[in-house]
Amino acid sequence: MTENWHTGIVTKIVDETHNTRRFWIKIPDMEIFDFKPGQFVTLDLPIHEKKNKRWRSYSIASHPDGTNEIELVIVLLEGGAGTNYLFNEVKEGSELVLKGPLGVFVLPPTLDTDLFFICTGTGIAPFRAMTKYLMQHNIPHKDIHLIFGTRYESDLLYAAEMRQLEADFPGFHYIPTLSRQEAWTGRKGYVHQVYEEMLQDKRPANFYLCGWKAMIDEAKQRIQALGYDRKSIHQELYG
């Protein structure tokens, strides 16, 4: 073990949807687990002899709050060794070996353009961390648009909390977009139509993409086709 691996204790587990769970992990050997919103941790799970087959990385869903506890939100992948272990073996009180914080999927030092947070599934995790951090620290910002795509209303993660944030945090817009829900008064279809419509005015913007590779690849092409520079697009891939 090198010095950057830590033993975390699972303090709480909550089912968020039928196939996603929230895990709270405390890292007792650190007084404060300090990270930038958008960063991730890597877990070393006892599921294989080879190191690179044991490691699983997850964005931190909580914002830095001066404690040594973080929250992860994890979706159960069919046939996934890592998530099957986390869902079937890990209980409150279990130990998890982790390292972090890692990653450069973080906000720019000054927020002088609109931010488009575009995500699918558990890709909402880093954006929850970023939004709560911006609100708590009263950081000046332009409009923030969280466009969250999923199939059904029952798959929306943190829905009540996001609506509350929209009410409490000026300039934050929560746009859940469902591809398969019939009875739904909100946006229907896929995330791409939503931002393309909004960006007809070609306003200055920064884009943060998090979720499945297919969504990210398509979004990158479409955003650049609208005339935006590749440098304004930041991504965090899942799977």
pLDDT above 60: residue 2: no
Rg over CA atoms, the chain: 18
Q: Name the binding residues.
A: 82-83
Binding residues for FAD: 82-83
* pLDDT attached to residue 112: 96
Instruction: Name the region of 132 (left: φ>0; alpha: ψ -120 to 50; beta: rest).
Output: alpha
Tens of pLDDT along 175-193?
999 999 999 999 999 999 9
pLDDT band at 1 (very low <50, low <70, confident <90, very high): very low
Distances (CA, A) of 86 to 33, 36, 59, 131: 21, 25, 15, 27
235 CB contacts (<8 Å, ≥6 apart)?
105, 208, 209, 210, 216, 220
The domain segmentation of the chain, as residue ranges, is 5-102, 114-238
Topology, domain 5-102: Elongation Factor Tu (Ef-tu); domain 3 (2.40.30)
114-238 has the same fold as 5-102: no
Q: Does CATH place domain 114-238 in 3.40.50.10490?
A: no
Evaluate whether 143 touches 173 at the Cβ level (below 8 Å): yes
Q: What letter represents residue 184's amino acid?
A: W
